[in-house]
Amino acid sequence: MRDKLAAVRGVTFFRGLPEDQLAKLAAIAVTRRYDKGETLFLADAPADGFHAPITGRVKVFRTSPAGKEQILHVFGPGEAVGEVPVFEGGTFPAQCEAVEPCETLFFPRAAFRDILRDDPDLAMRMMAMLSQRLRILVNKIDDLSLKETPARVAAYLLLLRSSTDSDTFRLDLPKGQIALYLGTIQETLSRIFKRFTDEGLIDIRGREITLLDPDRLRELADEGR
C-alpha cells in the first residue's frame, strides 16, 4: 500500500492533493504489468477505467482500414491514459499498447467516480487536465494538417530538447514509431534526418542526437504554419 501511495503521488493531476485523498485513490488503484507490445485497451472497448504508467511508456494510436497506424500520443510515468472516455461512460476511441515493458496504476471507473462525487477539488483538477489534453490534441491536428513533414520533424526535435533541457538527447522512440507519430513513413524521416545533418542542423550517432543549430530548426518549424 505504501509503494502504491507513492506511485499515486507521482500522477500529475493528483499532485498537491491532501494525503487522505491520495490514500483513497491508492486504495482503489490496481497495479498492472505489461510486456512490450501488449495491449492495455482496444478501440471501441468499454471504458471501464484509466491507467497511469509508473514505469515505461505506452502509445495511443488508431489504425486505418488499410492497416496504417497513426500514433496520437506517447505517455510516460505520471501521465493519465484513457481518462476522457471514463468520464463519458462510453468506449475508448483508440487503442493503447505498451511501447516497452511497463507497470501502470489502473483506476476502475466506478470506484473513481465515487471518489469524485465526494471530492469537488479533485473533480476540478480533472477538468483542468482534460482541458490541457484537448489543447495537445488541437496542436497535434494543427501539426499534421498544416505543417510540412520537415517542419513537423523540426518541431518534434525541439520538443525533445525542451523536455530534456539539453541540446544532446536520445530519441525517445524507435525511428519507425517516431515516423508514425509524425504522420509519415520511416524512409521519409530518414531522408529528413540526413538533410538536417548535411545542412549542419543536427548530428546523429545511433539514437543520440545533438541539435547544432536550434534557431534554424525553430525557423523551419515555424515555416510550416
Domain with CATH 2.60.120.10 in the chain: 1-120
194: Cα separation from own chain's centroid: 26
Q: How confident is the model at residue 171 (pLDDT cuts 50, 70, 90)?
A: confident
Q: Which CATH topology does 147-223 take?
A: Arc Repressor Mutant, subunit A (1.10.10)
Q: What is the pLDDT of residue 140?
A: 60
> Cβ distance 112 to 49 under 8 Å?
yes
Domain with CATH 1.10.10.10 in the chain: 147-223
pTM: 0.68
> Cβ distance 143 to 53 under 8 Å?
no
Lookup: cell for 126: 480533472
10 Å Cβ neighbour count for 162?
10
- Give 124 or 51, the one with higher predicted confidence: 51
Q: What is the distance between the alpha carbons of residues 182 and 152, in angstroms, rounded to a whole number?
A: 7
Q: What is the pLDDT of residue 27?
A: 94
* pLDDT at position 184 over 90: no
Instruction: Name the maximum alpha-carbon separation found in the chain.
Output: 59
Q: Which of left, alpha, beta for 11 (phi over 0: left; psi -120 to 50: alpha)?
A: beta
Lookup: cell for 216: 534554424
* pLDDT at position 16 over 90: no
- Over the stretch 103-123, which tens digit does the pLDDT of each residue have? 999 999 999 988 888 888 777
Task: Please state which CATH number belongs to domain 1-120.
Answer: 2.60.120.10
